[in-house]
Structure 1
């Protein structure tokens, strides 16, 4: 039995699907039982628990051979304080459940304790979970291609790709499909101790490459448009992003611009198989979802 957190999110959903496709028994952990109807239909077991409730999480993890854990994207409050609370609670739950193996979602660039905005929370998240299970793997993922779904409607309606990333700067990106498949493979592998695995797509891509991929799928030109740094905070505020969360997100883009979103080098390196064109075509087909 494999336990998956965040199954109704991008990465967790792909992990659960990949495990089910491999014929493995899966238990998804959700906040409310009604959220689990589709997973029950897929044959998964559903456990109900708040991710920061160590008692409930320990119960949800009991009897499993491995689990996929993650630090959900911040929605409000101080992302760093939230990471401290959540990481401590999950580590406690893993130890109390005597879970033998965990795979923890992290990010390329998480080797830096500062200078990377919200990514730096994952540096701390890794530290809190290090050693919680006899076998621990930190999967440091590239920038999710699916994140561009947030501007897909603008791209399709206005033929412009707004971006906080410098259009020509190539960085590690990856489809969440590859994240799910890689996590499933890691969960099913045998090892002991700590591993750091860095995952990116078949090649590194830029925002300009993403615009070109949209253009190919849509059949008309798409131009990438860099949003000036001085305008970004107001844009996030207009979208309802709380100030502390916005500051952490903007810090991430500053860290990327400063060259900190790079592979550590001495970690295990893996590349996925989903091309940028395939990932973008899925975004267009689903309307960015």
Structure 2
């Protein structure tokens, strides 16, 4: 039995669907106010990362846990502190107490207990706690998601014909990654000896700058995309503060990743930005 936490999210939902398609017995951890339709073969465990007792119950009889749960799309009592730090700690402890054999944690590239970014700090502390749990563990560290940040910052405005706003010069290069690729690496890691007690860093097949991203959209759309820039440290009207902070951080380093060896080890063909657009964006012009 595989328990998936975060199954109502984009990545967790995709992982859950693919596990079901593969014939794996699946149980999903779902908050009582967010029950979804997972099909007749999927067990549903009602619980919350903030409720340790519910996690112990959810982990009973489970062979492996995969968690993609995080606080970024929530609000209220669901914060980085309560979910990404304490909530994940609760889940690790519950799984260890129920003698779960395998635990796969979806983290983030740059996760570090010493990070100045609270989310990366929380993920780094979770990784450290997981490594000390006694379970066989894998930490998946994806680079920036195409589906989320790239489509939010560039895709939305470009497709709607409005200006794209970049923080800084937009010339730093990153290996943006599709959610589907992260799901593929996660599923491959589930039964891979190579991933046992390892951190698996996942990126796309091509390092791109934000300027390269804009150029790809221009090629895809067949028309120019207007770009405006905001200097580092200045507010960006209409853009959530969390996104501004992330874009600012991404302007301080490059994160190109050579995925050739990883792709061979795990059998995953990376998705380029253009391939992602061709597959997911319809009726443009």
Using the size of structure 2 for normalisation, the TM-score is: 0.81
Spell out the pairing of 1:54-93 with structure 2 (5 A cutoff).
54-74=52-72, 75-76=74-75, 79-80=80-81, 82-93=83-94
Would you say 1:4 and 2:4 are equivalent positions? yes
Deviations 1:239-286 (A, max 9, x none): xx5xxxx3x6544433322227577x9xx9557521211223455349
Would you say 1:210 and 2:207 are equivalent positions? no
Secondary structure in 2 matching 1:225: strand
2:185: which partner in 1?
182
Spell out the pairing of 1:189-208 with structure 2 (5 A cutoff).
189-190=192-193, 194-208=197-211
Spell out the pairing of 1:227-242 with structure 2 (5 A cutoff).
227-232=230-235, 234-236=237-239
* Higher RCO, 1 vs 2 (CA within 8 Å, ≥6 residues apart): 1
Would you say 1:160 and 2:158 are equivalent positions? no
Deviation at 1:157, TM superposition (A): 1.8
Would you say 1:169 and 2:172 are equivalent positions? yes
- Higher helix share goes to which structure? 1
Deviations 1:63-122 (A, max 9, x none): 222111235133447634653321321122111221100110111112462244532321
Alpha-carbon distance between aligned partners in 2 of 1:184 and 1:137, rounded to the nearest angstrom: 11
Alpha-carbon distance between aligned partners in 2 of 1:26 and 1:2, rounded to the nearest angstrom: 5
Spell out the pairing of 1:1-289 with structure 2 (5 A cutoff).
1-32=1-32, 35-37=35-37, 39-40=38-39, 43-74=41-72, 75-76=74-75, 79-80=80-81, 82-111=83-112, 113-116=114-117, 118-147=119-148, 148-151=150-153, 152-164=155-167, 166-190=169-193, 194-232=197-235, 234-236=237-239, 246=241, 250-259=244-253, 269=262, 272-285=269-282
More displaced 10-residue stretch of structure 1: 1-10 or 274-283: 274-283
Change in CA separation of 1:35 and 1:185 when aligned onto 2, cut-off 3 Å: same
Secondary structure in 2 matching 1:46: strand
Alpha-carbon distance between aligned partners in 1 of 2:184 and 2:278, rounded to the nearest angstrom: 19
- Give 5+ residue unaligned stretches, structure 1: none
Secondary structure in 2 matching 1:177: helix
Secondary structure in 2 matching 1:102: strand
Equivalent residue pairs, number: 273
Alpha-carbon distance between aligned partners in 2 of 1:104 and 1:286, rounded to the nearest angstrom: 36
Secondary structure in 2 matching 1:143: coil
